[in-house]
Structure 1
Amino acid sequence: MNEGESIVKTRWKTIAAVALVLSLLAAACSSDDDVGGTEVGIEQSHISEDEVVSDSEPTAGVVPTSNTGFIPGAIVSTECTDMHPIGGTISIGLFGEMNGWDPTTVEDGPELGEIQLMAIYDSLFYLDLTTSELLPALAESITTEDNQTFILTLRNDVNFTDGTPLNADAFIWNVEHYRTASGSRAADEAEIIAEINKIDELTVEIVAVNSNAALPLSFAGRLGKMMSPTTYEAGRDLETGLNSEINTNPVGIGAGAFLFESWIPGDEAVVVRNPDYYRAPCPYLDSVIFRPIVDASQRQKSYQAGGLDIFYSRDAVILSQERDAGSNIATYVDNHASHWLLNNSREPFNIRACRRAVAHGVDYETLNEIVHDGLSTVNRSIMSPGSPWVDPEAKIPAYDLDAARDALVECEAELGGPLEFSTFCYSETVNRKTVETLIAMWDAIGITAIANCVSVGEMASEVFAGEAIANPWSVAVGDPDDLYFSYYGDSSTDGVCGSNVSAGNYGKACYPEFDEALTQGRKGLTFAQRYEAYSRFQHKWAEEVPHILTFKPERGYVWSDKVSGMMQTSNFVAMLQFVAKG
């Protein structure tokens, strides 16, 4: 580092520190963003070069994902026995409040509703994150010979809590509902399916639009949440296809381990044991209380005071403290992870040089030191270290003042003026610290950014509406097919989104090469075929820089010795149906 860079670096540390102190004195802000003892997990595996280039024959019924490299809270057993303590209540602290109980439209993420949905609805399958295999749940099996036609068989002993059987007709209704309902967040996954043919009361044939190795994974995620057609249709709006009552009072709708009891938004939600759950004697618990606590330090304090039995966190400092204190922890570092989302459809970030300028202008190691005491993972690639999907040659922009200034000159020439923009943030300490530091770093090279810190809900509303220019965001990616939801643009020209842009492509990062690579990744019949497609995606991503990847934070759950049976499935959702108190 030369002397000039050292002076600049010291300047932004000082600016960020002063700005943070002033902001904290001006407003009582809450803490944390999205979140030794016994740590659940083993070393992440890394695929060898020989494994990447091999092109073995596909195995029928197995998704060619290889090992994703994540071993968080592995699924030990889904068998329910009388050996576990029965009864009791646990409280779990989460990052934010869910926006409702209808899986058609609820926000993603283990911290923003998916744990609650799992409790009420269960899932057709659970994804074992150690092997990438699907484990039977509401469904018994899914098989295929060609990764385009699948046979799915349901269990014969599952009823929704209104008494309606979960059968082939109910399955078909659910997929069609997810495909057509207004604002459905599972529409992209449902549209992968060309047709469904009923074979018998418990068996369906599913035909995909194209060969799609990852289609079965959808049934461990959003499409795996089955709802009672009887209850949903009773209050369904004919125009939107939605039942607003289900979103606030989900009674008689699910087939999960718990029944809805109450919900006070912003305070707590309570679910109670379903006595007719198909996996008797599960659930072991009498009830679960979900508490949304945005401030990470407050979640930790509540846990330490005995007010919570489990809490979710992605604050590296807090996780380190709890590990040192002897708490039980299951964590992971996922692919993609936290980033500063840029709106690729609006000035200034519809100009690639402007995106590259802000990306090169961030000293990521220093940002990590200031925000996470150096404990977070800083990696200049989309995929995490140890993931078999990472292409080490696809390097995304790193800190480079000369490259930042060169890109800024090009950016401002195309803009016809200085690079200035407003960025959202939300009112908590870690996020404020991040945005204050970023703004100071950008200011050091002549980029002006103004922070607009609001509630998480307010920010999300602006993001969903396409009005945000820049904002913090996070995308959990295990299998890279998850990237389809965030980056498919139905695009014929760089920067122009088509009518079928993915619902999760909030930054309107629409590029034909993204679409082609993501589509080919779905069609691959072997790991090597899929790897080649996702490698091309990574290289194009590094070229376009649609967003700024900041950290790959460790995230997960902390729990006390009063709790046993903590396991996680796809998208790292805790499976409370197997949790016991004691």
Structure 2
Amino acid sequence: MKILRLAATAVALLFSLQAAAQAQTTLRIGLAEDPDILDPTLARTYVGRIVFGAFCDKLFDIDEKLNIVPQLALSHETSADGKEVTIKLRPNVKFQDGEPLDAEAAKFSLERHLTMQGSFRKPELTALDHVDVVDPLTIKLVLKTPYSPLIAQLTDRAGMMVSPKAAKEEGDKFGLHPVCAGPYKFVERVQQDRMVFEKFADYWNKDNIFIDRVVFLPIVDATVRLANLKSGGLDLIERVLATDIKDVRADPKLVLATAPELGYLGLTINVNNDKNKGPLSQSEKVRQALDLSIDREAINQVVFNGEFTPGNQWVSPTHPYYQTAFPVRGRDIAKAKALLKESGAALPISVDYIVPKGAEAEAVAQVVQSMAAEAGFDLKIRVIEFATSLKQAQAGEFQAYQINWSGRIDPDGNSYVFLHSGAPLNDGKYSNPEADKLFEAARLVSDPAQRKAIYEKLTGIVLNDEPIIYLYHRKLLIAHTTRLEGYKQLPDGLVRVVGLKLR
């Protein structure tokens, strides 16, 4: 009898262990690139924003209709003169190290974004003079001037709150051990391999967290990402190839989630940071000729099966701030050749053309290369790993850089940081005093009609100078298994893990 009892106990223990193992759920997400630093102050990559979505909540978020909604903040109120914004914080919020998220902590995070060496958030918060603590759960943002995009900026990395204790202890190494106030806490990162996060037990919205672990796996090859999803090695992948849409929809075990992206893909031209001072950097006529040599709709059809939207501005043709006075122009090789002749540049014009590694990006580059050759350009495609491409772009080691921007809900977030003199994402060092004044003026007014009129003038200047040649606007393509329930894709491109369940 004793032996039988021991056997029964062993079997019960085995089933108990199996049940516990089954209860531990892991969401495996395939990424198209390995992110840069996991510090919201210093980060700049799109794929990094996806990872931040799992562990760094923001003061505000957006909904499916692009309305701004509370997250770590409960509400905000702007003074009549537009120079003070009072924000009420959510009570009983903790960072993943157990420290409280109170007004002092929020003040610390915002000031860190504003003052830290190398911060990419500084231009997003440039109007902020200082932060006052009103009470333990209230801060007042005191601005130098009215700043209409402010709350929109706080729906992204500028609104992410970091633990003051961890940030002070880690210094510029904070990105190696990040601590935020989100649903999952950082466990480990192995470069080019994986990022692991575990459920944070004291998360303020823990009742809506149903998955124990989230693992992000960078897999550059889109075909391999999809194969892993189909085989069960992944639960969700981002950036499905447009040519794979039919395949995903035909698979009964997969779901395709889509949304129009807020951003764009463009060719950043190194207008003022080109060490070789090639014709592309020296002449707007040469840049205009390159633009006219490109057939945007052909790119859309050939590479993306017509799924994307051709464009020529920093917002798509369906956006309220799109300037209809400057529609997308068709390809005009004759005019492109005439402009090159007027420029006096010797043909063919050789261009160092950086392209981040990836099937679609490389396909786009090859189509552009072929089209431009007919006008007199010799685009020398240089395919390199994404994070490396960013470093080379910052260093000015390029003449044209094909780069996608994921987009923001306010047009300022798609333009100022790339085109204002001295802005940190202005890799080509474009500078036009008249454009700068208009960028600054658009930040001072909140009336949409007045802002759109300012952006119309600005668009005319930028489309003449061509520091960026805008090509198209993507459709966000996320695929996941039917095991994953509750997933919704929003236009900002983030993967939101709150509310998700794995069957």
Instruction: Indicate whether the TM-score tops 0.5.
Output: yes
Aligned to 2:198: 272
Aligned to 1:328: 255
Cα offset, 1:278, TM superposition: 1.0
2:396 maps to 1:466 = yes
1:571 partner SS: coil
Return the alpha-carbon distance in structure 2 between the equivalents of residues 334 and 437 of structure 1: 22
Return the alpha-carbon distance in structure 2 between the equivalents of residues 285 and 336 of structure 1: 30
- Report 1:123-162 matches (<5 A): 123-130=58-65, 132-146=66-80, 147-162=82-97
- Report 1:178-577 matches (<5 A): 178-236=113-171, 242=172, 244=173, 246-250=174-178, 253-313=179-239, 315-325=241-251, 327-345=254-272, 346=274, 347-350=278-281, 351-411=283-343, 413=344, 415=345, 418-477=348-407, 478-490=409-421, 501-567=422-488, 571-577=492-498
Answer whether contact 2:314 2:411 (CA < 8 A) is retained: no
Q: Relative to 1, partners in 2 of residues 1:207 and 1:556: Cα closer, same or farther, differing over 3 Å?
A: farther
Match for 1:101: what amino acid? L
Aligned to 1:54: none
1:503 partner SS: coil
Cα offset, 1:416, TM superposition: 6.1
Return the alpha-carbon distance in structure 2 between the equivalents of residues 424 and 373 of structure 1: 24
Q: More relative contact order in 1 or in 2 (CA 8 Å, sep 6+)? A: 1
Return the alpha-carbon distance in structure 1 between the equivalents of residues 262 and 271 of structure 2: 21
Q: Relative to 1, partners in 2 of residues 1:86 and 1:322: Cα closer, same or farther, differing over 3 Å?
A: same
Q: Relative to 1, partners in 2 of residues 1:313 and 1:280: Cα closer, same or farther, differing over 3 Å?
A: same
Return the alpha-carbon distance in structure 1 between the equivalents of residues 245 and 265 of structure 2: 17
1:425 partner SS: strand
Aligned to 1:58: none
Return the alpha-carbon distance in structure 2 between the equivalents of residues 164 and 336 of structure 1: 35
Q: Relative to 1, partners in 2 of residues 1:335 and 1:276: Cα closer, same or farther, differing over 3 Å?
A: closer
1:98 partner SS: coil
Q: Relative to 1, partners in 2 of residues 1:416 and 1:447: Cα closer, same or farther, differing over 3 Å?
A: closer
Return the alpha-carbon distance in structure 2 between the equivalents of residues 570 and 177 of structure 1: 28
Cα offset, 1:417, TM superposition: 6.5
Match for 2:383: what amino acid? C
Answer whether contact 2:258 2:489 (CA < 8 A) is retained: no
Gaps of 5+ in 1: 1-84, 237-241, 491-500
Answer whether contact 1:344 1:509 (CA < 8 A) is retained: yes
Return the alpha-carbon distance in structure 1 between the equivalents of residues 440 and 24 of structure 2: 47
Cα offset, 1:537, TM superposition: 2.2
1:275 partner SS: coil
Return the alpha-carbon distance in structure 2 between the equivalents of residues 380 and 180 of structure 1: 34
Answer whether contact 2:263 2:314 (CA < 8 A) is retained: yes
Return the alpha-carbon distance in structure 2 between the equivalents of residues 219 and 378 of structure 1: 29
Answer whether contact 1:359 1:397 (CA < 8 A) is retained: no
Aligned residues: 474
Answer whether contact 2:35 2:387 (CA < 8 A) is retained: no
Percentage of matched positions with identical amino acids: 23
Answer whether contact 1:144 1:150 (CA < 8 A) is retained: yes
Aligned to 1:174: 109
Cα offset, 1:353, TM superposition: 0.7
Write out per-residue CA displacement over residues 222-250 of structure 1, whole angstroms, 9 at most, x where no aligned residue: 121111111211232xxxxx2x1x22223
Return the alpha-carbon distance in structure 2 between the equivalents of residues 256 and 214 of structure 1: 24
2:29 partner SS: strand
CA RMSD of aligned residues (A): 2.2
Cα offset, 1:540, TM superposition: 2.1
Aligned to 2:32: 95
Cα offset, 1:338, TM superposition: 1.0
Match for 1:358: what amino acid? L
Cα offset, 1:394, TM superposition: 1.3
1:573 partner SS: coil
Return the alpha-carbon distance in structure 2 between the equivalents of residues 217 and 570 of structure 1: 14
Write out per-residue CA displacement over residues 370-423 of structure 1, whole angstroms, 9 at most, x where no aligned residue: 322333322344432322111211135531012101111123x1x466522211
Return the alpha-carbon distance in structure 1 between the equivalents of residues 264 and 84 of structure 2: 32
Return the alpha-carbon distance in structure 2 between the equivalents of residues 374 and 217 of structure 1: 31
Write out per-residue CA displacement over residues 59-89 of structure 1, whole angstroms, 9 at most, x where no aligned residue: xxxxxxxxxxxxxxxxxxxxxxxxxx98521
- Report 1:32-111 matches (<5 A): 88-109=25-46
Answer whether contact 2:259 2:491 (CA < 8 A) is retained: no
Answer whether contact 1:317 1:375 (CA < 8 A) is retained: no
TM-score between the two structures when normalised by the length of structure 1: 0.77
Aligned to 2:14: none
Q: Relative to 1, partners in 2 of residues 1:443 and 1:529: Cα closer, same or farther, differing over 3 Å?
A: same
Write out per-residue CA displacement over residues 511-563 of structure 1, whole angstroms, 9 at most, x where no aligned residue: 23332232222222222122222222222222222222222221232222211
Answer whether contact 2:188 2:196 (CA < 8 A) is retained: yes
Return the alpha-carbon distance in structure 1 between the equivalents of residues 410 and 124 of structure 2: 14
Return the alpha-carbon distance in structure 2 between the equivalents of residues 272 and 391 of structure 1: 45
Q: Relative to 1, partners in 2 of residues 1:173 and 1:569: Cα closer, same or farther, differing over 3 Å?
A: farther
- Of residues 452-461 and 375-384 in structure 1, the stretch that sits farther from structure 2 once superposed is 375-384
Return the alpha-carbon distance in structure 2 between the equivalents of residues 454 and 485 of structure 1: 27
2:198 partner SS: strand
Q: Relative to 1, partners in 2 of residues 1:575 and 1:341: Cα closer, same or farther, differing over 3 Å?
A: same
TM-score between the two structures when normalised by the length of structure 2: 0.89
Return the alpha-carbon distance in structure 2 between the equivalents of residues 382 and 320 of structure 1: 29
Answer whether contact 1:269 1:290 (CA < 8 A) is retained: yes
Aligned to 2:13: none
Return the alpha-carbon distance in structure 1 between the equivalents of residues 258 and 327 of structure 2: 25
Match for 1:436: what amino acid? Q
Aligned to 1:10: none
Answer whether contact 2:292 2:333 (CA < 8 A) is retained: yes
Cα offset, 1:363, TM superposition: 2.3
Return the alpha-carbon distance in structure 2 between the equivalents of residues 377 and 396 of structure 1: 11
2:85 partner SS: strand
Answer whether contact 1:176 1:190 (CA < 8 A) is retained: no
Return the alpha-carbon distance in structure 2 between the equivalents of residues 157 and 373 of structure 1: 49
Match for 1:529: what amino acid? Q
Gaps of 5+ in 2: 1-21
1:288 partner SS: strand
Write out per-residue CA displacement over residues 169-200 of structure 1, whole angstroms, 9 at most, x where no aligned residue: 11111111111211111111232201222111
Match for 1:288: what amino acid? V
Cα offset, 1:437, TM superposition: 2.2
